[in-house]
């Protein structure tokens, strides 16, 4: 019997709890109220950033990669110590893949041996050729001396014999002189060929020497003490083992100066016009939520960019931190609140409490739908210029039976209309000023045709004058 009573009591309690949860609790959620607050109002732009060192030293591959005697394409990073490792000057950092250089060196050494063989052959050929020409000159000299003797002996011979002996001598002399000239020219020619081969040989020897020295520099060491941080490339990926470098981008990793940190963040194109240098920034580090820092905007990009996996245009903004902290590390995520302006002693409400159809309004707890004049706003709140007083209570969301709330503050509707008319008038005036400035820059004060009028000699169709739009 008692067991049955306990079961009945438990069932009743369960039904009561369900009723309270689904009906009473739901109603309380819908009827959340909030009071109008008064005080200092801050307009901020909130962004997410990433810590970086303001100054850093790059750990580079050897500069000889772009030397005159070494021609290499992309080089793979073969090994790299873990990011965040603290190193001293001269400590091992990583190594580059030298297989490409080894292959290039083998090819260069083969070319060097070939040039050496050409040089030795050229020396032998030159020696043989010039030796043969010297023998010819000697033989021609003997022939010339014999012609001289014959001509001298023909003194008492008939004139015809004398002329023939003289002609033989002249021919022998001419052959001798011509062969000597050919020898001089051939010697210069052979010397030029040998010089060319010597130059090629010297260049190839220097190339091999540079490669031997370069291979020893494919092991990378730290240039100074610090913490090794991987280099972040343009696309956002970090340069690590397996990444490639080029002779024109030789950075393997970085050694940041952790004494001065900056937060690199991106602001969307809607808010970038509000951001100026020297604005104060409140910073938080996600890794240390209890820590709070301050900073100042030091640089605002003039040109937007589109980040990967995003369609929106953003602008890079750098925030320099005012404090230094040994626990901070590069690449930590930061929350940044860039303070745009502060407005003292104003009324404001959460954005959720504001509604609008044709005019902005709030649901007051006194049963009225109060028209308001809203002002500036930030991420969470908006200023109430007219329509409410301090400590007035409003519903945070649309209450039950909103049609029962009567409209109050209708006198503010005209203020809203006047404000909208003034906004349109200001926009129209700015547009006209912009058009006039464009005409001054483009027309130079009357050089072109009047806008809306036909060009000289080209009258509008129908014979009438062109109409001004």
Residues 296 and 358 placed together within one structural domain of the fold: no
Backbone φ and ψ for 423, nearest 5 degrees, come out as -60, -45
266 vs 392: CA distance, rounded Å: 39
76 neighbors 61 (Cβ within 8 angstroms) = no
Single out the residue in 342, 367, 389 at which a domain terminates. Answer: 342
Residues 137 and 159 placed together within one structural domain of the fold: yes
DSSP 3-state of 257: coil
Residues 274 and 334 placed together within one structural domain of the fold: yes
Residues 169 and 106 placed together within one structural domain of the fold: yes
169 vs 45: CA distance, rounded Å: 109
* 124-136 confidence digits (pLDDT tens): 888 888 889 899 9
Closest CA to 235 of 309, 286, 341: 309
Identify the pLDDT of residue 118: 87
The domain tally of the chain equals 4
121 vs 194: CA distance, rounded Å: 10
- The upper half-sphere exposure of residue 297, i.e. CA atoms within 13 Å in the direction of its Cβ, equals 25
Residue 429 placed within a domain: no
Is residue 359 predicted with pLDDT exceeding 60?
A: yes
Q: Which domain holds residue 370?
A: 343-416
Residues 328 and 403 placed together within one structural domain of the fold: no
53 neighbors 228 (Cβ within 8 angstroms) = no
Q: 244: domain CATH number?
A: 2.40.50
Q: What confidence category does residue 302 fall into, taking pLDDT thresholds of 50, 70 and 90?
A: very high
Who contacts 442 (Cβ-Cβ below 8 Å, separation ≥6)?
Answer: 448
With 0-12 CB in 10 A as exposed, 13-18 as middle and 19+ as buried, what is 118?
middle
Single out the residue in 342, 368, 393 at which a domain terminates. Answer: 342
62 neighbors 217 (Cβ within 8 angstroms) = yes
Other C-beta atoms lying within 10 Å of the C-beta of residue 36: 19
Q: 167: domain CATH number?
A: 1.10.287
Least confident of 342-351, 394-403, 454-463: 454-463
With 0-12 CB in 10 A as exposed, 13-18 as middle and 19+ as buried, what is 17?
exposed
Residues 109 and 170 placed together within one structural domain of the fold: yes
Residues 240 and 268 placed together within one structural domain of the fold: no
* 152-204 confidence digits (pLDDT tens): 888 888 888 889 988 989 998 999 899 989 989 988 988 888 899 889 888 88
């Amino acid at each position: 019997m008692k067991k049955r009573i306990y079961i009945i009591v438990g069932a009743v309690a369960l039904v009561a709890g369900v009723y309270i949860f689904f009906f009473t609790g739901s109603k309380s959620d819908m009827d959340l109220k909030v009071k109008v607050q008064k005080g200092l109002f801050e307009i901020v732009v909130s962004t997410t950033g990433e810590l970086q060192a303001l100054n850093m030293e790059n750990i580079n591959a050897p500069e000889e990669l772009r030397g005159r005697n070494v021609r290499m394409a992309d080089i793979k990073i073969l090994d790299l110590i873990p990011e965040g490792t603290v190193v001293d000057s001269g400590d091992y950092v990583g190594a580059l893949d030298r297989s490409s250089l080894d292959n290039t060196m083998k090819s260069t050494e083969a070319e060097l041996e070939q040039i050496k063989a050409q040089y030795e052959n050229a020396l032998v050929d030159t020696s043989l050729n010039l030796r043969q020409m010297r023998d010819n000159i000697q033989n021609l000299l003997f022939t010339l001396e014999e012609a001289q003797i014959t001509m001298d002996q023909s003194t008492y011979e008939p004139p015809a014999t004398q002329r023939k002996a003289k002609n033989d001598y002249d021919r022998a002399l001419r052959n001798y002189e011509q062969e000597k000239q050919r020898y001089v020219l051939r010697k210069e020619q052979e010397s030029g060929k040998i010089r060319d081969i010597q130059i090629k040989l010297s260049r190839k020897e220097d190339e091999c020497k540079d490669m031997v020295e370069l291979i020893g520099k494919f092991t990378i060491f730290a240039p100074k003490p610090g913490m090794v941080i991987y280099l972040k490339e343009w696309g956002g990926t970090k340069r690590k083992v397996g990444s490639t470098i080029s002779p024109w981008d030789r950075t393997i990793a970085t050694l940041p100066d952790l004494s001065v940190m900056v937060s690199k963040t991106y602001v969307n194109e809607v808010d970038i016009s509000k951001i100026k240098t020297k604005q104060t920034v409140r910073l938080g580090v996600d890794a240390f939520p209890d820590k709070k820092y301050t900073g100042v905007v030091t640089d605002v990009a003039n040109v937007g960019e589109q980040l990967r996996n995003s369609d929106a245009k953003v602008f890079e903004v750098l925030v320099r931190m005012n404090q230094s902290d040994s626990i901070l590390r590069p690449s930590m995520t930061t929350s940044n609140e860039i303070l745009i302006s502060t407005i003292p002693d104003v009324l404001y409400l959460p954005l959720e409490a504001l509604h609008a159809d044709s005019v902005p309004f709030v649901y007051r707890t006194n049963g009225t739908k109060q028209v308001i004049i809203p002002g500036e706003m930030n991420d969470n709140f908006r200023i109430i210029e007219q329509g409410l007083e301090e400590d007035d209570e409003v519903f945070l969301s649309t209450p039950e039976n909103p049609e029962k709330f009567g409209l109050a503050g209708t006198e503010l509707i005209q203020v809203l209309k006047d404000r909208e008319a003034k906004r349109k008038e200001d926009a129209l005036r700015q547009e006209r000023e912009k058009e006039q400035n464009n005409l001054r820059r483009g027309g130079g004060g009357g050089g072109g045709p009047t806008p809306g009028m036909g060009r000289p000699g080209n009258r509008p169709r129908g014979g009438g004058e062109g109409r001004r739009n």
